Amino acid sequence: MSVYQHQQQTLQVESVAVPDIVAAVGSPVYIYSTRYFVERYRALSAALSNPSSPGPAARIYYAVKANSNLSVLRCFHDLGAGFDIVSGGELQRVLAAVGDPDSVVFSGVGKSIADIDLALKLDIHCFNVESPAEQERLSDRARLLGRPARIAVRVNPDVDANTHPYISTGLKENKFGVPAELALEMYERVAADEWLEPIGIACHIGSQITDPEPMLQALTSLLNLVDVLAGRGLDLDHIDLGGGFGVVYDDEQEFDVADYGARIGAALEGRKLTLSIEPGRYLVANGGILVTRVEYLKPGRGNDERNFAVVDAAMNDLIRPALYQAWHRVETVCSDEQRPEATRAHWDIVGPVCESGDFLAKERQLTIAPGDLIAIHSAGAYAMVQSSNYNSRPRPAEVLVEESTFRVVRRRESSEDLIRPELLGR
């Protein structure tokens, strides 16, 4: 499904040469592929609606936090996706992009009164409730506004997803969800609350999961709760298994969505529950690159000294390597290695931010010269959305490619953009 290829030694995204994009919009720049997003979504949808799978049809809610660009949201809406949000700001983005609050599921442990009120007034599809305190607040606001709320309790099944501790969410030491016993108590209170309508049950155990087995363990836990609730006279409409499907950055195992779909379908056979999932990274990560230009080369003078390639992107544009020790594939945009001015070595790709942790990649063998363009892959998820203006650096433009054309879907920030909200006291 690769949308990246070299033509005449120049990297292309779909049928557009990367240097043509940089010539038009500058660097650094995030570049996304429409074709990748479409093909990835359709492959996942097909795996979850396999005719040989006996379970009910699934609904895909794209996790907005992975990449919240309005054009990306519109792309997934047009494919049939709903949206999983974790803030009022993300809800506003969905409204601006597609204007469909009924397609929204609201997750997250810290929903503010303002967030809840906005979502209630817009009548979103469902709140994933993560604590008794949130449930009480939601009930109070629903009663005050005269707007009943549809809810699902998010259960923490205490299942180890075997992933990075920062992106594990299904263990009892994680802040997300509630234990099974507490979930049952919450549903009992909901049953007596005229302003809360229980329609589902939810969980999400982490991200970058390569083995579906922990997800199946979580499903088993949720189905046990569903059966207990049914025995108490409470029948739910859907079961939400979250997202977390792993993607390949380096040599990881690709998550087998076909096997996952078949096994989930078998587990749900005979039940009337609709399956909901909330993928984000899986749909967009490898559909984007961050392109940056080499400003300076600082080769070491001895075998024990590192070689630094200083580029115009930085940790504020892609924080994952510094935050998660994440690995991103790096390649030169123009692959002609016969140039006399280029130096072949193992380079640390570093930015201009005043931090020793400002690196994008380490010890990568490249043949490069000042002025060269470098593509950092897997930047479609958790790149722009985690970016900042640290060191008063304007954030890059975002570009969306579709076949042989491209368009800017977020313009590059200016220094004036950064200063404009501030007030100078007297």
Torsions phi, psi of 386, nearest 5?
-100, 5
Active-site residue among 75, 126, 203, 354?
354
Q: What angle do CA 295, 420, 22 make, to 5 degrees?
A: 30
Structure tokens at 240: 């939400």
**CA distances (Å), 44 to each of 183, 302, 371, 385, in order?**
30, 50, 40, 23
Does 334 qualify as catalytic in the annotation?
no
Q: CA torsion sign, 380 to 381 to 384 to 390?
A: negative
Burial class (CB in 10 A: 0-12, 13-18, 19+), 8: exposed
CA atoms within 13 A on the CB side of 375: 26
Question: How far apart are alpha carbons 217 and 161 in whole angstroms?
Answer: 10
Percent helix, strand, coil in the chain, to 5, is 35, 25, 40
| Residues whose CB falls within 8 Å of the CB of residue 270, separated by 6 or more in sequence, listed in order | 54
Query: Which residues belong to the active site?
Result: 354
